[in-house]
Amino acid sequence: MKRMIAVFTVWMGLSFSGQELLAQDAISQEGEFGIGIGAGHYFGDLDTRAHLNRPKMAASFFFRKNFSNYIALRVGATYARLGYSDKYNTYNDYMLHRNLSFNTNVWELALQGDFNFFRFMPGEPGFNFTPYITLGAGVFSYDPYAYLRGQKIYLRPLGTEGQGIVAGRKQYSTMALSIPFGGGFKYALNERMNVGFEILYRFTNTDYLDDVSTTYVDPNIFPLNPDGSVSNAALLSDRSYEVGTPIGKPGIQRGNSRQKDQFVTALFTLSFNLQSYKCPTSK
């Protein structure tokens, strides 16, 4: 009798173990959705040396569809606050005297392909960590503004470089394209939840993220205010008068139109795995 009980106990244990293994094999990691929070930074005509001294808030929401343990396709929405000022360019007397500044809110929607360096299987010992790289394409909106006498003023409608006023200089769009490229790593806390860190660099097709691109224009093209005072367009086109002698003569370089503006985000991420259960077969 004792021998029969022992045999029955062993058989039951093996049966449950086998069922658990089949259940684990039947679990498929379909993808994940998550959020990210961190900082963003701008590079362009006001930050030509890629200084990272003025980071601002950034956040994201994403969905990742897995095609294997190595390859996934991701769609993500990212917000980044970007901005910079010539007052930080103490290494360059001309830029310091130029005295321009801007801020903008960026909203980006992007589609990216992700590649894991290691096999990533949340919940499986030895397969719960991987570094990865990502590349994609996106579209984003932006609308630079600055502060004058404490007042927030959007720069695009003013045509600070003669856009929409001078022949050949069209008003730039508030929409632009981006190519996000970067990488990161993720770690599965368990079969349901992951944490990670990611850096994404964006190449863009606009040079007006900062409202600075070409040359100064004649300030006389900007009409005076009804009361005869100088318009905001003229005051924000050349702000060198605030720190010294004005330098904004027509044709003098204001920015570098040969290089487009760029930005980067660095985010800590938290994501949740989406799983499906497939019935195991005898084959």
**Segment 210-258, tens digit of pLDDT:** 999 999 999 999 999 999 999 999 999 999 999 999 999 999 999 999 9
SS3 content of the chain, % helix, strand, coil (to 5): 15, 45, 40
What global pTM score does this model have?
0.87
Q: Print the SS3 string covering 82-145.
A: EEEEHHHCCCCHHHHHHCCEEEEEEEEEEEEEEEECCCCCCCCCCCCEEEEEEEEEEEEECCCE
Positive/negative CA dihedral, 58, 128, 113, 192: negative
pLDDT at 3 over 90: no
Higher-confidence position of 109 and 7 = 109
Q: What whole-number distance in Å separates Cα of residue 125 and Cα of residue 122? A: 8
Average pLDDT over residues 5-30: 48
Q: What whole-number distance in Å separates Cα of residue 136 and Cα of residue 144? A: 25
Average pLDDT over residues 262-281: 86
What are the Cα distances from residue 191, in Å, to 11, 68, 93, 111? Answer: 28, 16, 56, 25
Q: Which residues of 113-122 are buried (b: 16+ CB within 10 A; e: fewer)?
A: ebebeeebbb
pLDDT band at 276 (very low <50, low <70, confident <90, very high): confident
In the prediction, which pLDDT does 21 show? 41
Q: What whole-number distance in Å separates Cα of residue 99 and Cα of residue 241? A: 9
Mean model confidence pLDDT for the chain = 90
Nearest Cα to Cα of residue 78 among 142, 29, 21: 142
Average pLDDT over residues 23-39: 81
pLDDT band at 26 (very low <50, low <70, confident <90, very high): low
Q: What whole-number distance in Å separates Cα of residue 1 and Cα of residue 58? A: 69
In the prediction, which pLDDT does 123 show? 86
Q: What whole-number distance in Å separates Cα of residue 113 and Cα of residue 139? A: 16
Average pLDDT over residues 136-161: 97
In the prediction, which pLDDT does 157 show? 97
In the prediction, which pLDDT does 27 show? 66
Q: What whole-number distance in Å separates Cα of residue 269 and Cα of residue 93? A: 40
